[in-house]
Amino acid sequence: MEYLVSFLLCCLLLTFAFLIGVKKKLYLLAGYVEKEVSNKDGLAKCVGIYLSLLGLSLIPLPFLRDWIGVSIVIGYLFIFYVCLFTMLVHTKRYTKI
């Protein structure tokens, strides 16, 4: 079951990465206001890369959990939140404020 959930979350994140990073559908971002963004292409590329990395990192997670144990899930959650925080910090440079 966890393999299916991991695969579906991976597909969802990669779909959003494609829509935001390649197709530049920035309205999918929560709180996006067009007037406050100075570089739309840079913002789309940054968010697309981070979503791709998060989506691809979900693929080996259930296999590693079976092989190593629950501690890998805790480590993954830590990496996930660090990556989200880093994405938030990097996307701040694309705002005009």
Q: Which residue has the higher pLDDT, 50 or 88?
A: 50
What's the CA gap between 41 and 35, in Å, rounded? 14
- Spatial neighbors of 3 by CB under 8 A, at least 6 apart, are 62
- Predicted confidence band at 97 (pLDDT cuts at 50, 70, 90)? low
Q: Rounded to two decimals, what is the model's pTM?
A: 0.79
21-77 pLDDT, tens digit per residue, is: 999 999 998 888 888 888 899 989 989 998 998 888 888 878 877 787 777 778 777
